[in-house]
Chains A and B, each alone.
Chain A
Amino acid sequence: MASPPPSSSIAKGGDGIITTLHPDIIRALILTRLDGPDLASTACVSSYLRSLSTEENLWRDICCSTWPSLDHPRLKQVISTFPYGHRSFFSESFPFPNPQPPKPNVRGSLALATELISAVDIYYHGNPIYSKVVEMETSSSWFLSTPFRLNLLGVDNPAPRSPIKYGSPNDDTWLKHLEENLSSSWIIVDPTREKAVNMSSKRAVSVERHWLTGDVQVRYGRVMEGDE
C-alpha cells in the first residue's frame, strides 16, 4: 500500500502533478491499465481526467477483455450504435446491481424486442474459459410459447477443453471450490433499443450434483424489478 503524499504536492498548484504528464502518456500508458470501475471513478476526479477517460477505444478494450464473447462482428456493430458506445455497454452490463432501473430509450414503446443477442462468458479463477454469442429472434410463436433458454453446447459445438479438474463424486469441498471459482456472465442485448443487461450473478447461487445423472448444476441468478 502506497503512503499518501506529503501535502506539498497539493500546494504545488491546482493542476496537480499527474497533469504535468503529457495527455498521451496518461491516456495510452496509464489509463489503459485500469479496469472499468477504476476508469469510471477516474472520470469523476476532474473534468480534465474525464476528457481523457471517456475515449471509446479505452472502453472497447476493457469490454473485450472483460467479456471475450464481444469479439463478434454483429455485437461490435450493435454496440457501436449505443449512445456512448462501449462505455454505455459496460455500465449497463457490469454485474453489480444498478439501484436506478435503466430508463427505456424509446418512451412509451412497450413493444417486445424482435431479436435478442446473448453474449455468454464463463470464467474459472477469473480467467475466461468459454465464450459464445447466440442471436435469437423473439417474435415467432415458437419462441413465445417456449421457456427462454439457450443451448450453448451441441453436436456442432462440443464443450471446450476445460482446465477444471473433475472432482470425486459427493465431494463437497469440490462443489464448494466450483462455487467460489466458477463465475459467469450472460449479457442480453436488445439491438433495436440499444440496451444491454447482465442476467447473471457473478458468483454461483447454488452448486449441486443432480441426484440422478450425477451432473453438476451451477446456478446463477438475478432479481429484476418489473414494471406493472
Chain B
Amino acid sequence: MSTTVPKKITLRTADNHEFEVDEAVAMELGTVKTFFDENPDATDEPIPLPNVSSKCLSTIIEYCKFHLSLRARGNDSSSAEEEGKVYDEELIKTHDNESLVELILAVNYLNIKDMLDTLNQGVADRIKNKSVEYVRRFFGIENDYTPEEEAEIRAQYEWAFEGVDPDDD
C-alpha cells in the first residue's frame, strides 16, 4: 500500500476553501472514511464539509498528519507517546474557550475520536477544581438561579467546596 503513489482527496469547507490531503490523512476523518466506504467509486469531486470552517480544518489536518506520523514510527517508541502528549497540550493551550468549542463541534462532526477525547479533556481540565463563580465567568454562563435556589443547591453540595483553587482572574 505504501509503495503506491499516495492518492489525494480534496475537502471543501463551509467557507469554500479547498484542502488537498493525502488519502491516509483524509481517512483519519471518520465521516470522510464512511463516505468512501459507502461510495467506493466516488469521483474526484471535492468532499463538502458544510459544518467545518477552514480555520478548524487546517488545525484538524495538522493534528491528523502529526499523529499519523507518530503512529508510523511504531508503538515501541516511547518518545512518540510523549511527543503526542506535548502536541495535544499545546493544541489546548493555543485555543481559547470559544475556539476550543468551535473545534469540538467540527471534530465531533468529522468523527475523529482521539482528537475529540483530547479536546474534551481540555475543557474538563478548565473546569476542574474551580469555584462556581470561576466556571461561570470562564464559560460566560449566566446564573439563572434565584439567590434562594442557589443557597439551597450549595448547601446540598457543601462537601464539594473544600479546597478549590483560588480564583486567579
Contact = CB atoms under 8 A, between A and B. Distances in A.
B141 A94 contact: no
Given A1-B168, A43-B153, A37 B160 contact: yes
Interface in B113-169: 116-117, 120-121, 123-132, 135-145, 150, 153-162, 164, 168-169
Nearest to B101: A17
A34 interface: yes
Interface residues of B, number: 47
Given A30-B123, A41-B130, A94-B159, A16 B154 contact: no
Max chain B C-beta neighbours (<10 A), residue from A11, A16, A47, A100: A16
Contact of B154 (A34, A35, A44): A44
Task: Give the contact-size bracket for chain A.
Answer: 35 or more
Contacts of A96: 159, 162
A98 interface: yes
Contact of B142 (A4, A16, A43): A16
Max chain B C-beta neighbours (<10 A), residue from A17, A44, A94: A44
B152 to A, nearest CB: 10
Interface in A1-28: 1-6, 9-12, 14-22, 25
Contacts of A100: 155, 158
A21 B139 CA distance: 12
A115 interface: no
Contact of B157 (A6, A11, A31, A44): A44
B153 A50 contact: yes
Nearest to B129: A38
B31 interface: no
Nearest to B155: A100
A21 B168 CA distance: 26
A98 B159 contact: yes
Interface of B: 93, 96-98, 101, 104-105, 108, 116-117, 120-121, 123-132, 135-145, 150, 153-162, 164, 168-169
Given A5-B96, A30-B120, A100-B155, 15 more contacts: A3-B169, A4-B168, A5-B140, A16-B142, A22-B108, A30-B127, A37-B164, A41-B130, A41-B160, A44-B153, A45-B135, A46-B141, A91-B157, A94-B159, A100-B158
User: Which 5 pairs between the two chains have the least Cβ-Cβ distance?
Assistant: A4-B169, A40-B160, A33-B124, A16-B140, A40-B157
